[in-house]
Amino acid sequence: MRSNSVTKGVQQAPHRSLFNALGYTKEELNKPLIGIVSSQNEIVPGHMNLDKIVDAVRIGVAMAGGTPVVFPAIAVCDGISMGHVGMKYSLATRELIADSTEAMAMAHAFDGLVMVPNCDKNVPGLLMAAARVNIPTIFVSGGPMLAGKMNGKKTCLSDMFEAVGAYNAGKITIDEVEQYENSACPTCGSCSGMYTANSMNCLTEALGMGLKGNGTIPAVYSERIRLAKHAGMQIVELVEKNIKPKDIMTEDAFMNALAIDMALGCSTNSMLHLPAVAHEAGVELNLEIANKISAKTPNLCHLAPAGNTFMEDLDEAGGVYAVMNELNKKGLIKTDLLTCTGKTVGENIKGCVNRNNEIIRSIENPYSETGGIAVLKGNLAPDSCVVKRSAVAPEMMVHEGPARVFDCEEDAIEAINSGKIVAGDVVVIRYEGPKGGPGMREMLNPTSAIVGRGLGESVALITDGRFSGATRGAAIGHVSPEAAVGGNIALVEEGDIIKIDINENTIDFVITDVELEKRRSNWRPRQPKITKGYLARYAALVTSGNRGAVLEV
């Protein structure tokens, strides 16, 4: 066992003395040392309950004959950090989480790890660490929030953001805003729609790194406590069998995850995180592959913000395994892959039926024959950009209109809220990419303002930043190359006609080659917005959105 290097032999007597100081017994040090990475904190609603999950994991580890050792990981709440400087730090924390977890795991010679994440960058950050460290590892998330209720209907965080837009447009009163405020987020857990946190927790399950229900069992259900105990027990088996993350997170496993991504209609952030995790696992996962998977994978679910169903509904309908089984009817899932259960995908999903064809459409009756995410290319995004196709109104799948150009999110929001954006416009927000932001902020405030003003079916938004999983509409992000490195999005001018065809995966602005080169010759790099601290280091090392915004020395 790896822990022998700190627990066995005369040379390790000093190490054991320090374990003695921690209160560990000889009996405990003769068992596998299992690190439990706790992301619990008191600022993220999806993380406030993780102490209970961690306690359950500890019990499970001890029941199975291991010694549990808890250490922390940070997490940022994207909703609370939204719309101000805090959002610059959100994506950047993914690397901090991966790096710090790697440091703790390697420094203390754990035999195995149980990752306990829940929200947004915390999940991919820990997946990246798992692949990088590559010792036996299993995930158990904190689970999704229950949907809120308002006037007899379910509601959620995306409705809350859109209510602010509706108020600014004079469509609802301040009292109605307060009603949403008190109804949208009723319990602990990751916000209740198919947003980034729930997307990544479901994809963790699809990758084979989490047990059945990891992505969908609500946070407040006792079933999740039982799941955590089983995860604690299972890690000891993984250690005994020496089953490692790279044995599970193979190229075929990522193909399965992409297929589930398309079927569920996950957040576009998955197109940043899956490539980043794959990179750590030694698998190349470019966005061309994503489009190929999307072309043959039907979209079976329309959870919020694409529709009016929620994570609790998906769980009741059979969860991720039921979706995998549905796709497997047409051979779209690779079933012979090893998973954290010690069994294959096929063994895991056997008998997991779809219990509600309204929540999970049958393979014969999908929402669309193609997946929920599309990757677009054209002269506006030569390397690529991404859109959540399943959350775009039919009338916006093809759109042409004049560019309304803004060099930061705040300027765009001011223009939207003051009524300067009208039907037909294409809002362009640039210098918000991984380097330019820095940190690639989410644009939930401007997209919610557009929808709240009733323009969701007539205005598109394009950015080198990214979007919250709660975003809906023709919101096209991750434009690469980004403006800060001289990408063509930096050369778009007010009034340029932009043509978007999501069906054909194209995005262009109307310009001659001569004019484009003229603008390029006149373009000058901008001074960095932040010149010190972590974000300055991050901006110096981060790659483009189409490469997963990974860091590169």
Secondary structure of the chain: what % helix, strand, coil (to 5)? 45, 15, 40
For residue 45, cis peptide bond before it (omega within 30 degrees of 0): no
Which position among 199, 458, 468, 480 bears the catalytic label?
A: 468
Give the length of the chain.
Answer: 553
Element (H, E) at 72: strand 67-72
Show the tokens assigned to 303: 């959870």
Residue with tokens 């592959």: 289
The helix or strand, by DSSP H or E, that contains position 245, with its residue range, turns out to be helix 245-248
CB half-sphere exposure, 477, CA atoms < 13 A: 31
Q: What is the DSSP string of 309-343?
A: B-HHHHHHHTHHHHHHHHHHTTT-S--S-B-TTSS
Q: Could you tell me which of 184, 215, 261 has the C-alpha nearest to residue 117?
A: 215
Structural contact between residues 459 and 362, judged by C-beta atoms closer than 8 angstroms? no
Task: Give me the DSSP letters along 84-139.
Answer: STTHHHHTTHHHHHHHHHHHHHHHTT-SEEEEE--STTHHHHHHHHHHHH-SSEEE
Task: Find out whether the peptide bond into 305 is cis, omega within 30 degrees of 0.
Answer: yes
H or E stretch including 203? helix 196-207
In whole angstroms, what separates CA 40 from the centre of its chain? 18
- Say if residues 131 and 245 touch (Cβ distance below 8 Å): yes
Q: Does the active-site annotation cover 468?
A: yes
Q: What residues act catalytically?
A: 468
